[in-house]
Structure 1
Amino acid sequence: MKKLVVMLISLILLGCEATPVQNAAQVKTKSKLNANIQLPLDVTAAFYVDKSTPERKINFYGKLEEATELVMKDFFTSSEQLTSSSNFDYLIQLGAVSDWDYVWGGYESDLELVIKNRSGDTVFKRQVQSSASGTGGVYDFNAVYNAFVKSVKELLIEFVNSQERNLVATAAESATPITIKAFFDDMSPAGSGTGFYIDKNGTLVTAAHVVSECILVEVKHKGQTYAANIAKSSELLDLAVLTTDYQNPQSISIRDELEVTLGKPLFATGFPLSNLLSDYPSLTVGNVTSQGGLKGARGSFQFSAPVQPGNSGGAVVDYSGQLLGVVSGSLNQRMMLNSAGTTSQNVNFAIGTSLLAKFLTKGGFSFSASEPAPNFEEASKLAVEYTNQVLCYK
């Protein structure tokens, strides 16, 4: 009997799973598009979904992203999720927080949609309730997705109808687009890492995972912040090249055939735990502890200089100031505890200079070697000059 009750409760909680909408055009809405408007409009649009979650709320931002993408391709000739390289006539910003409806079952979402033109002016703003109540169980997220499709379509119909006379004309204006950051009222970095200059023209290297999925990247150097572009990135190698307008006086020395010998003394500079520590670069020392990377991966090596979140992408340098590699990560302590029953100390990995040199050469980026620094103190002084913090906005 007890098992039967448990099964019945489980079935009630699961409910009947909804079928996800495949075609936004088939979704019926109360609002109707004006008869003389033909879709898709000759307008380019990008969209951004807020991923922040207020306390005791639920954020189905992944479902909202999917729903928005489905609807927008019917409305605009060109539409995409906002990235650092997006070029658009209109930016559509969305956010939704959800709660469980204990009376009818299903989720109720407070949805806000804001549309700005390329000059950053708000041309449309609405807040509505997107309801999936009574349509499914606790784990029926398709019902939430379907509700988002319907709500976003309703709001875009209202926007297009209200802007019918000047929508395309406004988009065609030659207004100079502002920076992506200026489209947001209160935007703060979602993460940070470290980079280092490879020339004196503002070109720097960092780890690819530091700038992955960023809609905006900035570089902070000696208290000054500069906009950065992702010029080249490889998730396979975990390397990325950024360019800025900053003319830096000092760059790192790169010798592509430099040998990484076991036990070689080294140091790493970077910006670990930037939300807790100072915004001045820190330095830790250690040695090469293995000439192979994780599971013996070639082109990488293991080192013992302590690193923390925020060090990724930083330079690993020998005591004469020559680059040995780029910080890529550390062993996950929780994973080690679960799999081996113990934790590891200072087991860190770097991508070797030989792989970096090939990556830069293939991308057409120049680098050079300089004379070795006379001692550790001089090498560390130079490191402060070419090391910078990389800020990622999502």
Structure 2
Amino acid sequence: MKLPAILVALSLCLAVTGCQSTKIKANKLPRGVAVSKSVELPNTTQVAYYLPNAATEHRFYLEQWNIWVDPGKGVKDGVHNAMQAYFPDAKPLDLTSDATVGLLIDIDPKWSFNRGEAEMTITYRVFDANQQEIRKGEKKYDTNLGNISDGTAFYNASLRATQLMLVDILNKLKPTAEKYAANLMMDTVDARQLANLEKPVSSGTGFYINANGQLLTAAHVLNNCLVTKAGSGDDSIDVTLAAKSTLLDLAVIDTKQKTDKFLPFRKDVNLFLGESVTNVGYPLQGLLAASPNLTRGNISSRSALKGSVGQFQFSAPIQPGSSGGPVVSDGGELLGVTVSTLNSAKLIESGVLPQNVNFALEAKYAAKFLTKHQIPFESVEPNMDGNISIANDAALGSVVQLNCYQ
């Protein structure tokens, strides 16, 4: 969703008086739309539905009006309530659950805005218990934005589009619990069938740590990904999760491709305050070219934010998408894994302008994590005669872009 288009639409609506903000009832269909009398209602078929996390969590702040706009909540609640009205046992897809269903509905919602109105377009596919596609379509509904701060317009448009989708499914498939027996276990669903592989919802960085082609990255890079691809340039491959720690914010990924370009860990992982470091990442996916971005800085502190454990501060500039990238010494040794940066926007509001305050997890904690999960890596003695050329070659040779699809 493009923010400028939203701002224009919102400003037009705010200039209009008498905007309505009444939520539609979930069991009340639009005029002229009806479910066939031969269809069981409420329907007892066991149904699971998939909504991309990016669509349900999207929200932003409009500073000039001092309000939060939350389209994601409208999508989540509108779809859920419509599903419950016609399939009372419907539940969101949980790929970790062994619960069984008879139908799976893949929902891909998209917003468009024009002259004070919001339009929801839902593209959908229906799968049976054999994961065969048995129905697909697209439904739209638009409504006046109304009082944008309460999110009613987003809810109503999402609810209505979902209702139209469900009416089509009910009338065409005429589902029953017997016709579509609950034989599909949710944890066996093929995620690739559901993910939109045309465009990633987010990106990050990973780097090779052994000759087996295993990558290390920040765990949050992989959050809510149905499919993750790794690559450089136009080449990419599917990868799978091998190990993860939410506490350390670390993850290891299997590529199943051998490599001789991997980063060794500095033995004993001693950090020298002020030493030069190189950071490589793939920042600002969709804005910058899909090529690695290399920055230089130094270790500015052996500690990070209050309460953080195992992190140090470095000054090489990073951007969104750099998470998971390596912090490399001039000797070509891994010193840390990029995990976060200071939130400049919040501090600017209080009159502080921070510059290049970034944080990485110390490599020694990554080494313990790898050892625990029996993942091989190499350790080398510190090369104190290194230089920028060694650091850059080591870092650039090991990194790949990670793209997350939902």
- TM above 0.5, yes or no, is yes
Secondary structure in 2 aligned to 1:124?
strand
Quote how far apart the aligned CAs of 1:66 are.
2.5
1:289 aligns with 2:303: no
Q: For residues 200 and 62 of structure 1, do their structure 2 counterparts lie closer, same or farther at Cα, with a shift above 3 Å needed?
A: farther
1:92 corresponding residue in structure 2: 106
Q: For residues 204 and 110 of structure 1, do their structure 2 counterparts lie closer, same or farther at Cα, with a shift above 3 Å needed?
A: closer
Q: For residues 355 and 66 of structure 1, do their structure 2 counterparts lie closer, same or farther at Cα, with a shift above 3 Å needed?
A: farther
Encode CA deviations 1:229-253: one digit per residue, 9 max, x unaligned: 3444444433233222322333221
1:123 aligns with 2:135: yes
Encode CA deviations 1:279-318: one digit per residue, 9 max, x unaligned: 4434333221111112373311111223233322111122
In structure 1, distance between residues paired with 2:115 and 2:339: 44
Quote how far apart the aligned CAs of 1:387 are.
1.3
**Which amino acid counterpart does residue 156 of structure 1 have in structure 2?**
L
Quote how far apart the aligned CAs of 1:125 are.
1.1
In structure 1, distance between residues paired with 2:169 and 2:231: 39
Quote how far apart the aligned CAs of 1:326 are.
0.8
1:327 aligns with 2:372: no
Quote how far apart the aligned CAs of 1:370 are.
4.1
Q: Assess if the C-alpha contact under 8 Å between 2:95 and 2:189 holds in 1.
A: no
1:145 aligns with 2:155: yes
**Aligned pairs, number:** 367
1:31 aligns with 2:35: yes
In structure 1, distance between residues paired with 2:249 and 2:201: 19
2:9 corresponding residue in structure 1: none
Q: Assess if the C-alpha contact under 8 Å between 1:132 and 1:144 holds in 2.
A: no
- Does 200-209 or 233-242 show the bigger shift? 233-242
2:75 corresponding residue in structure 1: 64
**Which amino acid counterpart does residue 45 of structure 2 have in structure 1?**
L
**Which amino acid counterpart does residue 370 of structure 2 have in structure 1?**
L
Within a 5 Å distance, the mapping from 1:158-169 to structure 2 comes to 158-164=168-174, 168=180
- Does 254-263 or 115-124 show the bigger shift? 115-124
1:390 corresponding residue in structure 2: 402
2:11 corresponding residue in structure 1: none
1:155 to 154, 162, 165: 165
TM-score, normalization by structure 1: 0.73
Secondary structure in 1 aligned to 2:303?
coil
Encode CA deviations 1:198-235: one digit per residue, 9 max, x unaligned: 22333212123323333332111465201123444444
Quote how far apart the aligned CAs of 1:261 are.
2.4
Q: CA RMSD in A?
A: 4.4
Structure 2 residue ranges without an equivalent (≥5): 1-13, 60-68
**Which amino acid counterpart does residue 195 of structure 1 have in structure 2?**
G
1:380 aligns with 2:392: yes
Q: For residues 183 and 289 of structure 1, do their structure 2 counterparts lie closer, same or farther at Cα, with a shift above 3 Å needed?
A: closer
In structure 1, distance between residues paired with 2:171 and 2:75: 23
2:347 corresponding residue in structure 1: 336
1:351 aligns with 2:351: no
Quote how far apart the aligned CAs of 1:162 are.
1.3
Q: For residues 41 and 182 of structure 1, do their structure 2 counterparts lie closer, same or farther at Cα, with a shift above 3 Å needed?
A: closer
Secondary structure in 2 aligned to 1:41?
coil
2:198 corresponding residue in structure 1: 187
Q: Assess if the C-alpha contact under 8 Å between 2:266 and 2:382 holds in 1.
A: no
Quote how far apart the aligned CAs of 1:194 are.
1.3
- Does 27-36 or 263-272 show the bigger shift? 27-36
**Which amino acid counterpart does residue 67 of structure 1 have in structure 2?**
G
In structure 1, distance between residues paired with 2:40 and 2:133: 26
Secondary structure in 2 aligned to 1:336?
helix
Q: For residues 33 and 383 of structure 1, do their structure 2 counterparts lie closer, same or farther at Cα, with a shift above 3 Å needed?
A: farther
Secondary structure in 1 aligned to 2:306?
helix
- Does 265-274 or 163-172 show the bigger shift? 163-172
Q: Assess if the C-alpha contact under 8 Å between 1:41 and 1:168 holds in 2.
A: yes
Q: Assess if the C-alpha contact under 8 Å between 1:114 and 1:122 holds in 2.
A: no
1:317 corresponding residue in structure 2: 328
In structure 2, distance between residues paired with 1:312 and 1:222: 18
TM-score, normalization by structure 2: 0.71
Secondary structure in 2 aligned to 1:115?
strand
1:80 corresponding residue in structure 2: 92
- Does 213-222 or 27-36 show the bigger shift? 27-36
**Which amino acid counterpart does residue 35 of structure 2 have in structure 1?**
S
In structure 2, distance between residues paired with 1:363 and 1:78: 37
In structure 1, distance between residues paired with 2:242 and 2:37: 41
Encode CA deviations 1:134-187: one digit per residue, 9 max, x unaligned: xx7554434653564455245324313312489638987xxx987627864x72
- Does 221-230 or 194-203 show the bigger shift? 221-230
Q: Equivalent pairs: percent with the same residue?
A: 28
In structure 1, distance between residues paired with 2:298 and 2:54: 43
1:200 to 185, 204, 211: 211
**Which amino acid counterpart does residue 199 of structure 2 have in structure 1?**
S
Secondary structure in 2 aligned to 1:248?
coil
